Amino acid sequence: MFLKEKCTLCGECLARCPYLAYPLEEAKKEFSRLMNGEASSVTSRCITCAACNMFCPEGANPFDLINELQEKTGTFKVAEQSLAVMSIAPTLPSQVIKGEAGKPAINLCAVGDMIPGVIEGALFEGLTQIKGGDYFCYVGWIHVGKPGMVADHAASFVNNLAATGAKEIICYHDDCYAVLDNKVKEFGIAVPFKVTHLIEYLRDYVKEHAGRVRKLNMKIAYQQPCASRYTFAKDAILDDLFERIGVTRVARRYDRMGALCCGAAMAGMKDMPRETTEEWRMKNIMDAKEAGAEAMVFLCPMCALNLRNRAKARGVEPYMVSNLVRLALGEELALGGAGKKFE
């Protein structure tokens, strides 16, 4: 939710955006136009990565205003294919695969089967698996300029999860956690179960099984999902996890506050040249390589699908974060680090 009373029109949100990069004075003028409901190029050019919410020194959530205006004005043009993909997600068959009594459930949302060989091994033994369209959180609609879809379906998303009877639900998808930990507060929705992020679950598992951990001594680059902008505090837990399994998160330009979108949102923009999308993707990959990363680690399956081949081709091995932990536990990754065997 945009908090107008907190905005000082400092322009930081648009000036620090790597994609728009307005000069500071122009940034102030453009955001003033947005606040006054006037036409602005921002609504058509913003790629919906939500980074400006983190750049704002006052915590006013400027992206929420931009995204709301993208929907209201219809100036954010999205390819029909992207809209079709988003429409398919809630129609996917739903399933609850019961695990052991007393253990948490893991919500795989509508993306749990995108990367095979990830929810396997000792880490996930006995967990109830929840997946399919009934458990889709709708956050992806933000990237097609329709945040109203999140608000419209948040209550049913929470209710469907609650109906499984799970006392604790681990969020595999960062988008789902963004709804359950952040957006529900904006919508005034109570969550009647404990919500745990996958990163926290992995960290706690490693703490409890420290004797099994084989330090990897690996330098990695982390690909932060756009939804993490809503729940950035967990980044400290991720750093703790990496330290416990013996990996170093290289210092690079496009990480943490400066993290880039994987390119999926850009690729869905109707008027965005493919060459521009590819340029930004390669900036990300080469930044990781030049910083000395041996591997690129993904939390979001969409990020992995968009970048794993590009990273591998440049000598940076792709891993889903859970598979990196499995590797540290001495498990074999039959389908590779990111769901694909490279020959």
Class of the CATH-defined domain 83-201: alpha beta
Instruction: Kindly give the pairing relationship between strand 247-249 and strand 218-223.
Output: parallel
Residues 225-270: tens digit of each pLDDT: 999 999 999 999 999 999 999 999 999 999 999 999 999 999 999 9
Q: What is the pLDDT of residue 207?
A: 97
For 295-315, how does the pLDDT look when each residue is reduced to its tens digit (9 = 90+)? Answer: 999 999 999 999 999 999 999
Sequence-ordered list of residues with C-beta below 8 angstroms from that of 341, at least 6 positions apart, any chain: 335
> Cβ distance 92 to 136 under 8 Å?
yes
Q: Are the C-beta atoms of residues 298 and 264 closer than 8 Å to each other?
A: no
Q: What's the pLDDT score for residue 340? A: 82
- Given this model, what pLDDT does residue 250 score? 98
Distance between CA 230 and CA 248 in Å, rounded? 24
Model pLDDT for residues 41-56, shown as the tens digit of each residue: 999 999 999 999 999 9
Report the DSSP beta bridge partners of residue 54.
none
Q: What is the per-residue pLDDT for 341? A: 73
Which pLDDT score is estimated for 343? 55
Give the architecture (CATH level 2) of 211-328.
3-Layer(aba) Sandwich (3.40)
Distance CA 43, CA 309 (A): 31
83-201 and 211-328 agree in CATH topology: yes
Give, for 32, the enclosing helix (H) or strand (E): helix 24-35
Residues in the chain: 343
User: What tens digit of pLDDT does each residue of 17-35 get?
Assistant: 999 999 999 999 999 999 9
Instruction: Say whether pLDDT at 197 is over 90.
Output: yes
DSSP string, 128-151: EEEESGGG---GGGGGGT-THHHH
Q: Where are the domains of the chain?
A: 4-73, 83-201, 211-328
Q: What is the pLDDT of residue 58?
A: 96
Note the pLDDT of residue 270: 93
CA distances from 8 to 28, 66, 325 (A): 9, 16, 43
Q: Is the pLDDT of residue 342 over 80?
A: no
The residue with tokens 């699908």 is: 305
Q: What is the pLDDT of residue 176?
A: 98
Residues 6+ apart with CB under 8 A from 278: 263
Tokens of 270: 């109707």
Looking at every residue in the chain, the average pLDDT score rounds to: 96
Residue 262: per-residue pLDDT: 97
Backbone angles phi, psi at 97, to 5 degrees: -100, 105
| pTM for the structure as a whole | 0.95
Give 274-288 pLDDT, tens digit per residue.
999 999 999 999 999
